[in-house]
Structure 1
Amino acid sequence: MTALASTPLFTAEILLGPVVEVGPTPTGFRRVIPIVGGTVSGRLAGEVLPGGADWNLERPDGSTELWARYELRLVDGTVVSVVNTALLAPGADVPFLTHPVFEVGDDGPVALRWGLYVGVLTPAADGGSVHLDVLRMAPPA
């Protein structure tokens, strides 16, 4: 089996607001975790814009779906939209892996539109933020 190579793309420190519990639904227990800001550093640099959220679902089997949508404003003013997903096994250890996908306008870093990206997400112990390292995956050279 061929191993993949990874290239660090950016690190985001994402600030979270108070959890909003929707409660039990037909598909599981829904929580909304607001994203209220943060910073981005590395090959991409800028800020995490307020207004996004993670629409988190604890499923009946004990697994948890993460589905976060938020925007980054890069230092050149370009806005990058991010959808970051994960499916965590019951009692999953941290950090855990996520799958970010990027939407970029024609005047932005369009290379983000293609390829495979992996996030390594570590929630803060106090629940007020998460640390996210994003890597671009590729076959070895």
Structure 2
Amino acid sequence: MNKIFSLNYAATAVVVLVASACQQVQAVAEPAVLTETSAEVRLELQQQIQKAIGGPLVKLADNAYLFESQIWVESAVLRDDKGRPLDGRHMDLANLFILQIEQGQCQLKHNKSGQLFALTKAKCMAEKQRFPEK
């Protein structure tokens, strides 16, 4: 009786292992950096950020996302002619945007909302692949 129970248990364990091995592995997005940049790529990034937070196009540095997968974008502070913020102090929090790659596709993620924006002009690679020391 013990041998039959042991064989059934072993056979069940093998079936479970084979079934779990056959399931597709879920792709996980990884932090990424751009492999190159251009005015066209920066414009695409600016447009996607504008979609996420509204307002005018943000200004991005020429090297945005070349060395880091994250950037913080602060909301513009409207000022009067003397340089004072309108309507008192500016209290809006900055927005975090993360460049990531998933199954070879470059994406921009707005961390606050979780929105993902597929990038068609930008080419990127996993940050840990480009900078393994990180």
Same fold judged by TM-score > 0.5? Answer: no
Q: Pick the structure with more helix per residue.
A: 2
TM-score by length of 1: 0.30
Higher normalized contact order (CA 8 Å, seq sep 6+, divided by chain length): 2
Q: Pick the structure with more strand per residue.
A: 1
